[in-house]
Structure 1
Amino acid sequence: MRRTTGPLLIAAALCLATAACSTSGTPTAATSATATEVSATAGPRCPLDASDLSTATGLVFDLADVREDHELETRPEVKALTCVYTSAATPQEAGDPLVLRVDTVTGADAAVVRAGFESGCADGGGTLADSTVTGAKTCTRGGNTVEGDIAAGDRTVEVYFVNATAGTAVTLTRAFDKVLASVS
């Protein structure tokens, strides 16, 4: 199941910098180490820990990339802290890793991004619903829930899986509220 924002989102998420990718387009081990180092230092802090994500889904995830002030593909005027997690545990379409992307937006743009999530869900044929997680909404498409947004004050965090096969999306749907609950 691919997110409706377009197939280029996967390539953009995984290959934000050419040096960060191997020839297959999959993040290299060096990329994961660099992202982990960035999140552990005074730099940007991702709102989701890879070990918590792994526990929530039952799949092993690594933090593959972190980008500060990253332009959102759907709203280039908005900048986000973007964290990309990958799992090679269950290869997806074309053998690519499963990807979870987390975009954190603060300030006045947070409300714009939340509204965009809500309208994008409806416009894309999805069903918007409240999550069991306080302040979170989910979007269900084709019976699967692999997209969500958590808003609190002047901060919104979009959480979504990309590149999941139909079978993986079913499994992730059952774990999605646990994923959202892991966001700090």
Structure 2
Amino acid sequence: MSTPRRTATLLTTAALCLLAVTACGPSATTGSPAPATKAPATAGSSPAEAANVPDTGCPLGVSDLSTATGLTFELGDTRQDHELETLPGVKANVCVYTSSTKPQDAGDPLVLRVDTVTGANAGTVKANFERSCTDNGGTLGESTVTNTRTCARGGNVIEGSINRTDRTVEVYFVNATTETAAALTEVFDKVLASVS
């Protein structure tokens, strides 16, 4: 898939994630969908309730995300071994968070997607993030978080890639209005710093 399609793919993915819990599965051309896990929100859970919440495998906690942004988020969906829309053949663990605290265009919730890729494909995902950013008119930047690149578009920074030798975690907001994107730019380093 060519990189100019990344923005459209991200928007389509976010829209599908909002329509159904299972909408973040592989495309129709990849075969049967990966099993989905509907994850409960953990913000405000008591210690006893938290003990009963299954491990989602997500590197970003709901309460940490909510604290960093000042918005209330829920973990709406997770996908294990999900084939990335922009890199066929590369699989990631995907976590999709939503917030209805401040509705976006058409009353849709704000969406944050976190893709974690480990092993040999981590470097491929890092390179694709950088190429996609610049090919689509963005500007690569640095974060205060070690080994992290960001992508600025229209003066806003709501996309990042945290890179280690054998692990890349992409973090990006989707469905944000210009006003929301500007506000999130101010706290995006806090969001990235919350990723474990």
Residues 35, 64 of structure 1: 8 Å contact kept: no
Post-superposition, which runs of at least 4 consecutive aligned residues in structure 1 deviate over 4 A? 34-37
| Alpha carbons 2:76, 2:97 under 8 Å: kept | yes
Q: CA deviation at 1:11?
A: 2.6
Q: 1:76 to 1:121 in 2, by over 3 A?
A: same
CA contact (8 A) 1:35 1:65 kept: no
Look up the match of 1:22. none
1:182 Cα deviation after fit: 0.2
Q: Take 1:57 and 1:165, find their aligned partners in 2: how far apart are those partners?
A: 15
Q: Which amino acid aligns with 1:9?
A: T
Contact 2:40–2:53 (Cα < 8 Å) also in 1 = no
Tell me the distance in 2 between the aligned counterparts of 1:8 and 1:52.
26
Distance 1:35 1:74, change over 3 A: farther
Q: How many residues align?
A: 169
1:1-184 equivalences in 2 (<5 Å): 4-6=7-9, 7-14=11-18, 15=20, 17=22, 31-33=38-40, 40-41=53-54, 44-184=56-196
**Per-residue deviation at 1:40?**
4.3
Q: Is contact 2:79–2:95 with CA below 8 Å preserved after alignment?
A: yes
Q: TM-score, normalised by structure 2?
A: 0.80
In the superposition, the TM-score normalised over structure 1's length comes to 0.85
Q: How far did residue 33 of structure 1 move?
A: 2.3
Query: Residues 118-152 of structure 1, C-alpha deviation per residue, up to 9 Å, x if partnerless?
Result: 00000010000111000111000000000000011
1:81–1:104 Cα contact (<8 Å) kept = yes
**Counterpart of 1:139 in structure 2: which amino acid?**
C
Once the 2 structures are TM-superposed, how far is the Cα of residue 31 of structure 1 from its aligned partner?
4.0
Counterpart-to-counterpart distance in 1, 2:159 and 2:98: 16
Task: Give the match's secondary structure for 2:7.
Answer: coil
In structure 1, runs of 5+ residues without a counterpart are 19-29
* C-alpha contact 1:92 1:164 (8 A) present in aligned 2: yes
Q: Does the 8 Å contact 1:13/1:101 carry over to 2?
A: no
Stretches of structure 2 lacking an aligned partner (at least 5 in a row): 1-5, 24-36, 44-49
Please report the RMSD computed on the Cα atoms of aligned residues, expressed in angstroms: 2.3
